[in-house]
Amino acid sequence: MQDYTIRQFKAALQFGFDGISMLFHRGNFIGFEQPVLDRFVRLYPGVDPCRLPVSDERLHGVWCGIKTEFITRLKQELTDFAGKKLIFHTIVETTPVSAKNFGVDIEEWARLGLIDSFCHETMETREDLTDCISQDGLIDLAAYRKALTLRPVILRDFNNTVLEKALEGAKAYQQIADKYHVDFYGVILNNPFCRRYIESRDEMRKLGVRNFSFFNYTHIASDLTQFHIVSKLGHDTVLEQPAKPKYFRTVSLDDRYIGTYEPNWRG
Protein backbone atom coordinates (compact mmCIF):
# COMPACT_ATOMS: atom_id res chain seq x y z
CA MET A 1 0.00 0.00 0.00
CA GLN A 2 2.86 2.39 0.74
CA ASP A 3 4.41 1.69 -2.66
CA TYR A 4 1.05 2.27 -4.35
CA THR A 5 0.53 5.60 -2.57
CA ILE A 6 3.97 6.83 -3.58
CA ARG A 7 3.36 5.79 -7.20
CA GLN A 8 0.10 7.75 -7.24
CA PHE A 9 1.78 10.90 -5.96
CA LYS A 10 4.58 10.54 -8.49
CA ALA A 11 2.04 10.27 -11.29
CA ALA A 12 0.41 13.50 -10.13
CA LEU A 13 3.73 15.32 -9.81
CA GLN A 14 4.36 14.80 -13.53
CA PHE A 15 1.80 17.55 -14.13
CA GLY A 16 4.12 20.07 -12.50
CA PHE A 17 2.57 20.51 -9.07
CA ASP A 18 4.79 22.17 -6.48
CA GLY A 19 3.56 20.17 -3.51
CA ILE A 20 1.15 17.57 -2.16
CA SER A 21 -1.69 17.49 0.37
CA MET A 22 -2.34 14.36 2.43
CA LEU A 23 -5.75 13.75 3.97
CA PHE A 24 -5.58 11.88 7.28
CA HIS A 25 -9.00 12.76 8.64
CA ARG A 26 -11.15 10.37 6.58
CA GLY A 27 -10.83 6.63 7.05
CA ASN A 28 -8.50 4.39 9.06
CA PHE A 29 -5.02 4.23 7.57
CA ILE A 30 -3.42 1.66 9.82
CA GLY A 31 -4.68 -1.20 11.95
CA PHE A 32 -3.48 -4.68 12.82
CA GLU A 33 -1.62 -5.63 9.67
CA GLN A 34 1.20 -8.16 10.05
CA PRO A 35 4.02 -5.56 10.20
CA VAL A 36 2.13 -3.83 13.00
CA LEU A 37 1.67 -7.06 14.93
CA ASP A 38 5.31 -8.07 14.46
CA ARG A 39 6.61 -4.75 15.77
CA PHE A 40 4.20 -4.68 18.69
CA VAL A 41 5.13 -8.18 19.83
CA ARG A 42 8.83 -7.27 19.76
CA LEU A 43 8.21 -4.21 21.91
CA TYR A 44 5.58 -5.67 24.25
CA PRO A 45 6.01 -9.46 24.48
CA GLY A 46 3.06 -11.26 25.98
CA VAL A 47 0.55 -8.48 25.20
CA ASP A 48 -2.11 -9.05 22.53
CA PRO A 49 -2.45 -5.73 20.66
CA CYS A 50 -5.86 -6.75 19.30
CA ARG A 51 -7.26 -6.61 22.84
CA LEU A 52 -6.21 -2.99 23.37
CA PRO A 53 -8.49 -0.01 22.67
CA VAL A 54 -7.35 2.31 19.89
CA SER A 55 -6.64 4.96 22.51
CA ASP A 56 -3.91 2.86 24.16
CA GLU A 57 -0.53 4.63 24.15
CA ARG A 58 1.30 1.43 23.24
CA LEU A 59 -0.72 1.17 20.04
CA HIS A 60 -0.17 4.87 19.42
CA GLY A 61 3.56 4.38 19.66
CA VAL A 62 3.63 1.57 17.11
CA TRP A 63 1.12 3.12 14.74
CA CYS A 64 2.69 6.57 14.87
CA GLY A 65 6.17 5.13 14.43
CA ILE A 66 5.23 3.22 11.28
CA LYS A 67 3.28 6.15 9.84
CA THR A 68 6.14 8.58 10.55
CA GLU A 69 8.59 6.25 8.82
CA PHE A 70 6.27 6.20 5.80
CA ILE A 71 5.95 10.00 5.64
CA THR A 72 9.75 10.27 5.89
CA ARG A 73 10.15 7.88 2.98
CA LEU A 74 7.37 9.59 1.02
CA LYS A 75 8.97 13.02 1.33
CA GLN A 76 12.41 11.78 0.34
CA GLU A 77 11.24 9.80 -2.69
CA LEU A 78 8.92 12.52 -3.98
CA THR A 79 11.55 15.23 -3.55
CA ASP A 80 14.10 13.14 -5.44
CA PHE A 81 11.53 12.39 -8.14
CA ALA A 82 10.53 16.04 -8.60
CA GLY A 83 14.11 17.29 -8.48
CA LYS A 84 13.04 20.34 -6.50
CA LYS A 85 11.73 21.40 -3.11
CA LEU A 86 8.10 20.44 -2.62
CA ILE A 87 5.52 21.74 -0.17
CA PHE A 88 4.05 19.05 2.07
CA HIS A 89 0.66 19.75 3.62
CA THR A 90 -1.66 17.47 5.57
CA ILE A 91 -5.19 17.53 6.99
CA VAL A 92 -5.72 15.86 10.36
CA GLU A 93 -8.50 15.12 12.83
CA THR A 94 -9.97 17.70 15.21
CA THR A 95 -7.46 17.25 18.03
CA PRO A 96 -3.94 15.81 18.36
CA VAL A 97 -5.31 13.17 20.73
CA SER A 98 -7.84 11.78 18.26
CA ALA A 99 -5.33 12.02 15.41
CA LYS A 100 -3.08 9.55 17.24
CA ASN A 101 -5.89 6.99 17.43
CA PHE A 102 -4.83 5.80 14.00
CA GLY A 103 -1.22 6.83 13.80
CA VAL A 104 -0.87 10.54 13.07
CA ASP A 105 1.64 12.24 15.37
CA ILE A 106 1.54 15.73 13.90
CA GLU A 107 4.00 17.14 16.45
CA GLU A 108 6.62 14.55 15.50
CA TRP A 109 6.10 15.30 11.80
CA ALA A 110 6.57 19.00 12.46
CA ARG A 111 9.62 18.39 14.66
CA LEU A 112 11.27 16.29 11.96
CA GLY A 113 10.52 18.85 9.26
CA LEU A 114 8.29 16.43 7.33
CA ILE A 115 5.50 18.97 6.75
CA ASP A 116 5.36 22.63 5.87
CA SER A 117 1.76 23.24 6.86
CA PHE A 118 -1.32 21.48 8.18
CA CYS A 119 -4.93 22.10 9.06
CA HIS A 120 -7.44 20.28 11.21
CA GLU A 121 -10.97 19.19 10.38
CA THR A 122 -14.20 18.70 12.32
CA MET A 123 -13.89 14.91 12.34
CA GLU A 124 -12.78 12.52 15.07
CA THR A 125 -12.42 8.74 15.01
CA ARG A 126 -13.21 6.83 18.18
CA GLU A 127 -14.14 3.35 19.39
CA ASP A 128 -17.34 2.44 21.21
CA LEU A 129 -16.43 -0.48 23.47
CA THR A 130 -19.76 -0.73 25.28
CA ASP A 131 -20.21 -4.34 26.51
CA CYS A 132 -16.86 -5.32 24.96
CA ILE A 133 -14.54 -5.10 27.98
CA SER A 134 -13.65 -8.24 29.93
CA GLN A 135 -12.86 -8.44 33.66
CA ASP A 136 -9.13 -7.95 33.06
CA GLY A 137 -9.85 -4.52 31.54
CA LEU A 138 -8.97 -5.56 27.99
CA ILE A 139 -11.22 -6.12 25.00
CA ASP A 140 -13.22 -9.35 24.93
CA LEU A 141 -12.75 -10.27 21.28
CA ALA A 142 -15.82 -12.55 21.19
CA ALA A 143 -17.98 -9.71 22.54
CA TYR A 144 -16.31 -7.32 20.11
CA ARG A 145 -17.14 -9.56 17.15
CA LYS A 146 -20.75 -9.82 18.34
CA ALA A 147 -20.99 -6.04 18.68
CA LEU A 148 -19.82 -5.64 15.09
CA THR A 149 -22.90 -7.57 13.93
CA LEU A 150 -25.21 -5.25 15.86
CA ARG A 151 -23.77 -1.75 15.52
CA PRO A 152 -20.78 0.27 14.38
CA VAL A 153 -17.85 -0.01 16.79
CA ILE A 154 -15.40 2.34 15.07
CA LEU A 155 -17.20 5.67 14.84
CA ARG A 156 -16.46 8.99 13.22
CA ASP A 157 -17.85 12.08 14.92
CA PHE A 158 -18.64 15.05 12.72
CA ASN A 159 -18.14 18.09 14.94
CA ASN A 160 -19.40 20.57 12.35
CA THR A 161 -21.32 22.59 14.92
CA VAL A 162 -19.22 22.00 18.05
CA LEU A 163 -17.08 25.11 18.31
CA GLU A 164 -15.56 24.08 21.64
CA LYS A 165 -14.08 20.92 20.11
CA ALA A 166 -12.64 22.83 17.16
CA LEU A 167 -11.11 25.38 19.56
CA GLU A 168 -9.61 22.63 21.73
CA GLY A 169 -7.79 21.26 18.70
CA ALA A 170 -6.87 24.68 17.34
CA LYS A 171 -5.19 25.73 20.59
CA ALA A 172 -3.04 22.59 20.76
CA TYR A 173 -2.20 22.62 17.05
CA GLN A 174 -1.25 26.29 17.00
CA GLN A 175 1.19 25.69 19.86
CA ILE A 176 2.80 22.90 17.82
CA ALA A 177 2.97 25.12 14.74
CA ASP A 178 4.60 27.97 16.64
CA LYS A 179 7.09 25.65 18.33
CA TYR A 180 8.34 24.10 15.09
CA HIS A 181 7.77 27.02 12.70
CA VAL A 182 5.20 25.47 10.40
CA ASP A 183 1.90 26.97 9.23
CA PHE A 184 -1.37 25.91 10.85
CA TYR A 185 -4.83 26.59 9.45
CA GLY A 186 -7.77 26.48 11.87
CA VAL A 187 -11.00 24.97 10.58
CA ILE A 188 -14.02 27.21 10.13
CA LEU A 189 -17.17 25.33 11.10
CA ASN A 190 -19.38 24.33 8.20
CA ASN A 191 -22.68 25.95 9.18
CA PRO A 192 -25.48 27.62 7.21
CA PHE A 193 -25.57 30.58 9.60
CA CYS A 194 -23.02 33.18 8.54
CA ARG A 195 -22.67 34.49 12.09
CA ARG A 196 -21.17 31.14 13.10
CA TYR A 197 -18.39 31.53 10.54
CA ILE A 198 -17.36 34.82 12.06
CA GLU A 199 -17.70 33.46 15.60
CA SER A 200 -15.36 30.57 14.72
CA ARG A 201 -12.81 32.95 13.26
CA ASP A 202 -12.97 35.40 16.17
CA GLU A 203 -12.57 32.71 18.83
CA MET A 204 -9.63 31.13 17.01
CA ARG A 205 -7.86 34.45 16.63
CA LYS A 206 -8.04 34.83 20.41
CA LEU A 207 -6.01 31.59 20.60
CA GLY A 208 -3.37 32.96 18.24
CA VAL A 209 -4.61 31.24 15.09
CA ARG A 210 -3.64 33.37 12.09
CA ASN A 211 -4.75 31.22 9.16
CA PHE A 212 -8.04 29.52 8.40
CA SER A 213 -9.25 26.61 6.30
CA PHE A 214 -12.64 25.58 5.02
CA PHE A 215 -13.25 22.04 3.84
CA ASN A 216 -15.72 21.37 0.99
CA TYR A 217 -15.50 24.99 -0.07
CA THR A 218 -17.29 24.24 -3.35
CA HIS A 219 -20.50 23.65 -1.39
CA ILE A 220 -20.28 27.20 -0.08
CA ALA A 221 -19.55 28.59 -3.54
CA SER A 222 -23.06 27.54 -4.62
CA ASP A 223 -24.59 29.78 -1.94
CA LEU A 224 -23.48 33.33 -2.67
CA THR A 225 -24.64 34.64 0.69
CA GLN A 226 -22.30 32.28 2.51
CA PHE A 227 -19.57 32.69 -0.08
CA HIS A 228 -19.51 36.46 0.50
CA ILE A 229 -18.84 35.97 4.21
CA VAL A 230 -16.45 33.01 4.04
CA SER A 231 -14.28 34.55 1.31
CA LYS A 232 -13.65 37.59 3.53
CA LEU A 233 -12.88 35.86 6.82
CA GLY A 234 -9.14 36.45 6.56
CA HIS A 235 -9.39 40.16 5.76
CA ASP A 236 -8.42 42.46 8.61
CA THR A 237 -10.94 45.09 7.52
CA VAL A 238 -13.75 42.57 7.80
CA LEU A 239 -12.53 41.51 11.23
CA GLU A 240 -13.36 45.00 12.49
CA GLN A 241 -16.81 45.18 10.92
CA PRO A 242 -20.11 43.40 11.59
CA ALA A 243 -21.31 40.85 9.06
CA LYS A 244 -23.16 42.40 6.14
CA PRO A 245 -24.08 39.48 3.91
CA LYS A 246 -25.50 40.16 0.49
CA TYR A 247 -28.62 38.34 -0.62
CA PHE A 248 -29.33 37.04 -4.10
CA ARG A 249 -32.42 35.83 -5.91
CA THR A 250 -32.98 32.11 -6.26
CA VAL A 251 -31.58 30.85 -9.54
CA SER A 252 -33.27 28.44 -11.92
CA LEU A 253 -32.47 26.68 -15.18
CA ASP A 254 -35.04 25.08 -17.45
CA ASP A 255 -37.66 25.86 -14.78
CA ARG A 256 -35.72 23.87 -12.20
CA TYR A 257 -34.26 25.27 -8.99
CA ILE A 258 -30.48 24.80 -9.05
CA GLY A 259 -29.43 26.77 -5.99
CA THR A 260 -28.18 23.66 -4.21
CA TYR A 261 -25.98 22.51 -7.08
CA GLU A 262 -22.26 23.17 -7.16
CA PRO A 263 -21.27 25.84 -9.71
CA ASN A 264 -19.65 23.39 -12.12
CA TRP A 265 -22.34 20.73 -12.01
CA ARG A 266 -22.87 21.07 -15.77
CA GLY A 267 -19.19 21.22 -16.58
Q: What is the pLDDT of residues 44-88, one digit of tens each?
A: 999 999 999 988 999 999 999 999 999 999 999 999 999 999 999
Q: How confident is the model at residue 215 (pLDDT cuts 50, 70, 90)?
A: confident
Percent share of the chain, pLDDT over 70:
78
The pLDDT value given to residue 247: 46
The domain limits of the chain are 2-126+157-218
The CATH code that applies to domain 2-126+157-218 is: 3.20.20.80
The pLDDT value given to residue 236: 61
End-to-end CA distance of the chain: 33
Q: How confident is the model at residue 163 (pLDDT cuts 50, 70, 90)?
A: confident
The pLDDT value given to residue 267: 41
Residue 244 predicted with pLDDT over 60: no
Closest CA to 75 of 179, 137, 5: 5
The pLDDT value given to residue 13: 94
Residue-wise pLDDT tens digits, 168-201? 999 999 999 999 999 999 988 766 556 677 788 8
Flag the least confident range among 48-57, 76-85, 100-109, 233-242: 233-242
Q: What is the mean pLDDT of residues 156-164?
A: 79
Q: What is the mean pLDDT of the chain?
A: 84
The pLDDT value given to residue 155: 86
Q: What is the mean pLDDT of residues 11-25?
A: 91
Q: What is the mean pLDDT of residues 99-119?
A: 94
The pLDDT value given to residue 248: 46
The phi, psi pair for 228, rounded to 5°, reads -60, -40
